Structure 1
Amino acid sequence: MKSLVLFLMMTAALGWAQEETQNGVTLTITLENVLNAQGDILAALHTQDTFMKGPGVANYKSVAQKGQMTFTFSNVTPGTYGVSVLHDLNQNMRMDYQSNGMPTEPYGMSGNDMSMGPPSFDAISFEVGTGDQEIAIRF
């Protein structure tokens, strides 16, 4: 009897876990204009609460490939998000700056806003609905 109860509990938990993993959508990011294959590509999916404050709600890391790269964030729930991408040339897991404060490594944001100064969440944000989405980001 105990094994039957345990089996039913495990089956119910497994079914709940499968249902949980099927919620949300897939967000496909196409990164254009990667200038070389040096270092890593680091990307983060941000909410307004995580933007410019550290890791995102989902993160991506891969060896850089010259040209175009594509990657995905899975199980993204509907809401407002922004994506930041860094070409970490020296693989130190952070953006490097010149003495005047200008970045020395390529970066990009959803919305492709390249105005002077730090980006705002409003400038890079987009809505995720109930269907899979694709966005392009250019360095």
Structure 2
Amino acid sequence: MKAAWSGRGWAVAGLAALALAGGTATASAQKACEGKPDETRLHITVKGVRAAAGELTITIYPDDAARFLSPRGRIARIRVPAAKPVTTGCVAVPAPGNYAAAVYHDEDGDRKFGRSMVGLPTEGYGFSNDAPATLGLPTLEQARFAARVGDNKLTIHLKY
């Protein structure tokens, strides 16, 4: 059994990769999907946001375990102003298929995923399917979801 936050734990590049710079969505752009126009759109609802401070970073990954949570593995990323208790965003993906999503609440606005001295999260985070991150990061299989042509709804609950 792995020790808490070991192996692929919080100190590794996985969640740090979530903090890399990416596209920024403004409040007025939230109604339209970010990214290249496409027929496959993800409408993401993030619940459990504890403060209307900073922004939420939503990152979409392809159905490739080697790219999931990797610093350069994403296919899309948006940043939306945090709203309490629910924040929404929309992102277009290249085609129907399987994807995974990760989100973190950058409360202090430094565009870095906050961690304590021992590597534990200090800012909210979550994954598609509410994949568990109790003893480390979830696997692609735990976070994978199917997107079809058209509008797809996805809900993620933050953990703090």
TM-score norm. by structure 1 comes to: 0.77
Displacement after TM superposition at 1:78 (Å): 1.4
Cα distance change on mapping 1:76 and 1:24 into 2, 3 Å: farther
Letter in 1 for 2:55: D
Larger radius of gyration: 1
Structure richer in strand, relative to its length: 1
1:26-51 CA-partner distances (Å, limit 9, x unpaired):
11101111110111111111112432
Is the 1:43–1:83 Cα contact (8 Å) retained in structure 2?
yes
Say what the alpha-carbon RMSD is for the aligned residues. Answer: 1.8
Partner of 2:6: none
Partner of 1:4: none
Is the 1:46–1:58 Cα contact (8 Å) retained in structure 2?
yes
Distance, in Å, in 2 between the alignment partners of 1:129 and 1:102 is 35
Identity across matched positions, percent? 25
- Indicate which of 83, 98, 121 corresponds to 2:140: 121
Partner of 2:5: none
Displacement after TM superposition at 1:22 (Å): 5.8
- The answer for unaligned runs of 5 or more in structure 1 is 1-20
The answer as to 2:67 corresponding to 1:50 is yes
SS at structure 2 position matched to 1:119: coil
Cα distance change on mapping 1:132 and 1:35 into 2, 3 Å: same
Distance, in Å, in 1 between the alignment partners of 2:51 and 2:81 is 11
The answer as to 2:39 corresponding to 1:24 is yes
Structure richer in helix, relative to its length: 1
Letter in 2 for 1:35: R
Is the 1:31–1:69 Cα contact (8 Å) retained in structure 2?
yes
1:23-102 alignment, distance < 5 Å: 23-47=38-62, 48=64, 49-54=66-71, 56-102=74-120
TM-score norm. by structure 2 comes to: 0.67
Displacement after TM superposition at 1:69 (Å): 1.4
Partner of 2:155: 136
SS at structure 2 position matched to 1:43: strand
1:81-100 CA-partner distances (Å, limit 9, x unpaired):
11111101122212121122
Is the 1:58–1:73 Cα contact (8 Å) retained in structure 2?
yes
Is the 2:80–2:89 Cα contact (8 Å) retained in structure 1?
no
Q: How many residues align?
A: 119
- The answer for unaligned runs of 5 or more in structure 2 is 1-35
Cα distance change on mapping 1:67 and 1:27 into 2, 3 Å: same
